[in-house]
Amino acid sequence: MIRFDQVSKRYPTGQEALSGLSFHVEPGEMVFVTGHSGAGKSTLLKLLAMIERPTRGSVTVDGRNLATARASAIPRLRRKLGMVFQDHRLLMDRTVFANVELPLVIAGIAPAERARRVRAALEKVGLLAYEKQAPALLSTGEQQRVGIARAIVAKPPLIIADEPTGNLDPRLAAEIMGLFDQFQKIGTTVLVASHDLMLIKRTRKRVLVLDHGRLVDDVPATEVMA
Ligand SMILES: Nc1ncnc2c1ncn2[C@@H]1O[C@H](COP(=O)(O)OP(=O)(O)OP(=O)(O)O)[C@@H](O)[C@H]1O
């Protein structure tokens, strides 16, 4: 599903955020990316989201090399991707329903079908009763779940999440991981950047460890000790 082949990323400032990074993620796998602050976790996700391009090497998702994709192809490629952010980036002046609906509006889906899919996504994250609410009235954990519903509403084959539990207490963080686990169980590939080692150990998935932009460890799920 995801293949990084000798990927390096140097920002215009000269900062080399990733160096010679190679790894492969199978369809339907769930993988953590961890490492110290500045190790390159967000940069790795930005390459997958085509927010940044690699300086060298290739990033392939579902057989497409993102490094050589034309700008005009980016919106279509991004539809294969559900993104979850630490700060969830919800539109506070719209309802929960409207926030989750947004990717489907952009994709040109008809209103009746949109409503059906939005409700299915909200049900998955346990927030169907909140569809008419303003996100500001929800708790931080609930807001994060709205962000997750928005990421999955178009049923992308790949979900990438950047510190999705950064603002949450351990119980809520475990709940969010439980949701990702469910998406993995129905065949979605999930990549989560996190520096929360306790959470990573408890979730027991494969872990890629970055250090100063280099891959220094690739721990299979079976070797992750709680
Ligand atoms: N837009 C940018 N321009 C210049 N340098 C950048 C940019 N974004 C990130 N960097 C640098 O690249 C390196 C990797 O940053 P990145 O944000 O990918 O790390 P991270 O592991 O996600 O860190 P954190 O856990 O603190 O979010 C850091 O040295 C950072 O300062």
pLDDT at residue 137 greater than cutoff 80:
yes
- State the average pLDDT over residues 49-74: 92
42 CA → ligand 1 middle, Å = 7
CATH superfamily of 1-76+192-221: P-loop containing nucleotide triphosphate hydrolases (3.40.50.300)
- State the average pLDDT over residues 15-37: 97
ipTM of the complex: 0.95
Summarised one tens digit per residue, pLDDT across range 86-116 is 887 899 999 999 999 999 998 899 999 999 9
| Phi/psi-derived region of residue 21, left when phi > 0, alpha when psi is between -120 and 50, beta in every other case | beta
Question: Quick one: which atom of ligand 1 is closest to the CA of 39?
Answer: 21
What pLDDT, on the 0 to 100 scale, is given for residue 168?
A: 83
Q: Is the CB of 19 under 6 A from ligand 1?
A: no
Sequence ranges of the domains in the chain: 1-76+192-221
What pLDDT, on the 0 to 100 scale, is given for residue 166?
A: 85
Question: Quick one: which atom of ligand 1 is closest to the CA of 210?
Answer: 21
Summarised one tens digit per residue, pLDDT across range 162-206 is 999 987 888 889 989 999 999 999 999 999 999 999 999 999 999
What pLDDT, on the 0 to 100 scale, is given for residue 169?
A: 87
- Average model confidence (pLDDT) across the chain: 94
pLDDT at residue 68 greater than cutoff 90:
no
The residue whose CA has the least distance to atom 7 of ligand 1 is: 11
- 3 phi, psi to nearest 5 deg: -135, 120
What pLDDT, on the 0 to 100 scale, is given for residue 1?
A: 93
137 CA → ligand 1 middle, Å = 32
- 88 phi, psi to nearest 5 deg: 50, -25
Q: What predicted TM-score, i.e. pTM, was given to this entire model?
A: 0.92
The answer to whether residues 88 and 161 touch, using CB atoms and an 8 Å cutoff, is: no
77 CA → ligand 1 middle, Å = 24
What pLDDT, on the 0 to 100 scale, is given for residue 83?
A: 93
